[in-house]
Structure 1
Amino acid sequence: MRKIVCSSIMALAALAGCSSPPPMPPVAQVDINRFMGDWYVIAGIPSWPERKSFNAVESYALLPDGRIQTTFRYRHGSFDADLETMHPVGTVQPGTGNAIWGMQFIWPIQAEYVIAYLDDNYQQTIIGRSKRDYVWIMARTPSLPDADYAKLVDKVRELGYDTTQLRLVPQRWPDTKAP
């Protein structure tokens, strides 16, 4: 009997180690037209290409077929670096209130993109992923009041992220090297 109990405990411990975090909770509803436009990346746990980004801006435009053309532009390493861009396409997942997208950088792979927080005025947002590997705090302005930023960091923590990994994205506008 003791062997069975020990084996059961070990099996449960192994399963607990393999468990994944709960799904990223999306906001209930996103007015997709209001969400379109420019969003400055204030801070995030960045993906590899954006780990040294400066003046990062993500722009969304609704395509006629309902997908979302995304343009992510940034300078890598300094304000004086050349402008880099990425052009993924977002696809809203049906039945999610427009809050969960598949973001396609390379066909056929779509990365999870969850609008986990959005203020009532569509001025501040948090984009996350269920894996809790990347997160972005974005705003319609290149900077935020300290109290607003602190509130958003608290929300990121509540979503299950290690906020010590957040990187503030340096923003300086006007962008003196803009084309």
Structure 2
Amino acid sequence: MVRLSTALILSLWLPLLPLAWAARQGSEVPPVRSVPAVDLKRYAGTWYELARLPNRFQSDCARDVTARYEPLADGGVRVTNRCRTLEGEVKTAEGLAVPTDRSNARLKVSFLPGWLKRLPGARGDYWVVLLDPQYRWAVVSEPRRENLWVLARSPALPPQELARIVDTLAGRGYPTDRLLLTPHDAADLSHAAGY
């Protein structure tokens, strides 16, 4: 049996360390960044969820997921999320989003009842990370990449456009292989109208 000395082992492995370090550095994902700015007046209105990462607070949402944003006089944004469950019932959640800086691209949102919505620790991150210049679609996430929503002004985007968005997200380190596509029944979107 041949025994290799520590010096011999190190002489074999030391030249490979820079390569291993470089490979590790290349695999690290950059931090999540929001878009430079969001015009809340243009962002206001109804958005249709096209895809999302699985999350506990939407576990019973099966289809027809929408979000409506309404800017408030105090600078906050009223949020109304709606979806249809597997049983066909409409589920609604009312929330409040508050911008964290002048860009309006990073907000804190809470769906707790009443005055509890304004407690600092009771709010989650809501960052607009991609935004179409015409505000036809948007992507929302947060710093840990645990939550992700692809939203659009209509219940569908052309498949190649949605594929480009997903490719961009994959390139930014999002687990796009886990995305759930959100079906919309055009005849069943009455819950999205008039709110």
Regarding TM over 0.5, the answer is yes
Q: How many residues align?
A: 159
**Which residue does the alignment assign to 2:33?**
25
2:85 paired with 1:76: yes
Identity of aligned residues (%): 27
SS at match of 1:64: coil
TM-score normalised by structure 2 residue count? 0.75
Aligned residue among 130, 140, 147 for 2:153: 140
Q: Distance between the aligned counterparts of 1:115 and 1:176, measured in 2? A: 25
Alpha-carbon RMSD across the aligned residues, in angstroms, is 2.2
Under a length normalisation based on structure 1, what TM-score does the superposition of the two structures give? 0.81
Q: Is the Cα–Cα contact under 8 Å of residues 54 and 178 in structure 2 kept in the other structure?
A: no
- Give the conservation status (yes or no) of the 8 Å contact 1:21–1:130: no
Partner-residue secondary structure (3-state), 2:165: helix
Tell me, what secondary structure is at the counterpart of 2:123?
A: strand
Q: Does 1:49 align with 2:57?
A: yes
Distance 2:76 2:31 in 1: 23
2:99 maps to 92
Select the structure that is richer in strand: 1
1:102 counterpart = 2:108: yes
Higher radius of gyration, 1 or 2 = 2
C-alpha contact (below 8 Å) 2:47/2:67 kept by paired residues: yes
Q: 2:129 aligns with which of 116, 138, 143?
A: 116
The match for 2:69 is 60
Q: Using the alignment, how far apart are the partners of 2:45 and 2:169 within structure 1? A: 23
User: 1:154 matched to which residue of 2?
Assistant: 167
Cα deviation code 1:32-52 (max 9, x no counterpart): 100000000000103213234
Report the CA distance between 1:176 and its aligned residue. 6.5
Instruction: Output the amino acid matched with 1:36.
Output: A
Displacement of 1:22 in angstroms is 5.3
CA distance, structure 2, for counterparts of residue 159 and residue 126 of structure 1: 12
Residue 39 (structure 1) aligned with residue 47 (structure 2): yes
> Structure 2 counterpart of 1:165, which letter?
R
Label 1:23 to 1:105 Cα distance change in 2 as closer, same or farther (>3 A): farther
Question: 1: distance between equivalents of 2:173 and 2:130?
Answer: 13
Change (3 A) 1:52 1:148: farther
CA distance in 1, matches of 2:189, 2:143: 37
List per-residue Cα deviations over 1:93-113 (Å, max 9, x = no partner). Answer: 124x11000011233311001
SS in 2 for 1:87: strand
Greater per-residue helix proportion? 2
List gaps (5 residues or longer) in structure 2.
1-27
Q: Aligned AA for 2:98?
A: T
SS in 2 for 1:164: helix
Q: 2 CA distance for matches of 1:176 and 1:23?
A: 36
Partner of 2:7: none
